[in-house]
């Protein structure tokens, strides 16, 4: 927002108007060092196979790869990546204390038609010299990815932008399900859902199975795309991930969808009337 070569306002004056210190303008963020990036990459791959691993087991896994680091470092990096062991324990994935937590609405609900239930989650995307965060909005019944956004910070805005794009392009669901992350419990995010008359559902603590459809998407994306490339920058990550999601939607058949693609199931079952033949899906 500060224009260095402004013809009338100096940098000092612009910073004063914005209410920030001049040092903030000159500050350049220092990214994670190569060792931490390597550790995060190993922990991300391990988490996909063993999501119940906490700090102690992650530290032991790293030591088996020849990296002897402290629990404090492992804990910090796991928090940075948004990784939390799924077993029940006190204060697991603590939500924002001022945000409302909504009940889980999908238990024993048959989800058989498009735009009945949408779901969303955020995952960590490693790059050669850093990392990004990816949020996706998915239709539960068809597995179709409706929108996505990449961000270099875990803020709320990129999640809201993905939600608004999905609503703009695909109408609205009856129910929207997420975990209890502060991005999804924020008033900015839930306010958009309420404004469209969407029921809000949230997973229980440590219940990754409550949002299992997106968890399966992340596993497929990382093994079939992210881990096969070493993204140089965000532009390359956006391009490769976008290409993979397009193939996932248009070309990738699913066993649980009677070997139909997400696109075919989503558009065949859109609107009123009986759904096309497909496996009956129940929420966990």
DSSP string, 182-249: HHHHSHHHHHHHHHTT-EEEEPPTT-GGGGHHHHHHHHHHHHHTGGG----SHHHHHHHHHHHHHHHH
Sheet of strand 131-139: strand arrangement: 145-151, 131-139, 117-126, 175-178, 199-202
Q: What are the mean pLDDT values of the chain's consecutive 10-residue runs (284 residues total)?
A: 70 66 52 85 88 89 93 91 62 53 88 93 87 93 94 90 96 93 91 96 64 84 89 91 95 88 90 43 46
Contact present, 87 and 146 (Cβ < 8 Å) = no
pLDDT digits (tens, 9 = 90+) for 95-109: 555 668 899 898 888
Tell me, what's the pLDDT at 98?
64
Contact present, 210 and 283 (Cβ < 8 Å) = yes
Q: Is residue 143 left, alpha or beta, with left meaning phi > 0 and alpha meaning psi from -120 to 50?
A: left
Tell me, what's the pLDDT at 30?
53
Tell me, what's the pLDDT at 273?
39
Tell me, what's the pLDDT at 282?
47
Using DSSP bridges, classify how beta strands 175-178 and 199-202 pair: parallel, antiparallel or unpaired.
parallel
CA distance 60 to 79: 17
Using DSSP bridges, classify how beta strands 175-178 and 117-126 pair: parallel, antiparallel or unpaired.
parallel
Tell me, what's the pLDDT at 155?
87
Sign (positive or negative) of CA dihedral 179, 185, 191, 195: positive
CA distance 175 to 169: 17
Tell me, what's the pLDDT at 174?
96
Tell me, what's the pLDDT at 49?
85
Superfamily of structural domain 117-268? Ribonuclease H-like superfamily/Ribonuclease H (3.30.420.10)
Q: Which residues contact 5 (CB under 8 A, 6 or more apart)?
A: none
CA distance 103 to 70: 37
Residue matched to tokens 């999640």:
159
Contact present, 119 and 159 (Cβ < 8 Å) = no
Type and span of the H or E element at 34: helix 34-49
Q: What is the pTM for the complete model shown?
A: 0.71
Contact present, 240 and 225 (Cβ < 8 Å) = yes
pLDDT digits (tens, 9 = 90+) for 180-233: 888 999 999 999 999 999 999 997 654 545 567 888 899 899 989 998 888 888
The b/e string for 158-186 (b: 16+ C-beta within 10 A; e otherwise) is bbbebbeebbeebeebebbbbbbbbbbbb
CA distance 93 to 106: 21
Q: Where are the domains of the chain?
A: 1-29, 34-81, 117-268
Tell me, what's the pLDDT at 175?
95
Q: Which of 108, 114, 59, 51 is nearest to 83 (CA)?
A: 51
């Amino acid at each position: 927002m500060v224009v260095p070569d402004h013809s009338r306002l100096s940098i000092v004056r612009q910073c004063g108007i914005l209410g920030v210190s001049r040092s903030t303008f000159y500050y350049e963020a220092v990214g994670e060092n190569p060792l931490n990036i390597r550790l995060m990459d190993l922990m991300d791959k391990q988490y996909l196979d063993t999501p119940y691993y906490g700090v102690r087991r992650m530290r032991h896994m790293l030591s088996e790869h020849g990296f002897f680091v402290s629990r404090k470092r492992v804990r910090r990096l796991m928090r940075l990546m948004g990784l939390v062991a799924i077993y029940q324990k006190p204060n697991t994935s603590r939500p924002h204390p001022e945000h409302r937590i909504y009940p889980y609405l999908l238990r024993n609900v048959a989800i058989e038609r498009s735009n009945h239930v949408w779901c969303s989650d955020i995952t960590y995307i490693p790059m050669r010299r850093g990392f990004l965060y990816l949020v996706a909005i998915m239709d539960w019944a068809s597995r179709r990815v409706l929108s996505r956004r990449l961000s270099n910070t875990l803020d709320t805005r990129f999640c809201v932008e993905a939600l608004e794009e999905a609503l703009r392009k695909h109408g609205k669901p009856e129910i929207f399900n997420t975990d209890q992350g502060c991005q999804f419990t924020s008033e900015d995010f839930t306010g958009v859902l309420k404004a469209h008359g969407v029921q809000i559902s949230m997973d229980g603590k440590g219940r990754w199975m409550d949002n299992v459809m997106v968890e399966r998407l992340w596993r497929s994306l990382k093994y079939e795309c992210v881990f096969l490339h070493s993204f140089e920058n965000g532009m390359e990550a956006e391009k490769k991930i976008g290409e993979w999601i397009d193939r996932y939607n248009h070309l990738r058949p699913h066993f649980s969808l009677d070997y139909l693609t997400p696109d075919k199931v989503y558009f065949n079952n859109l609107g009123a009337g009986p759904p096309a033949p497909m496996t009956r899906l129940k929420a966990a």
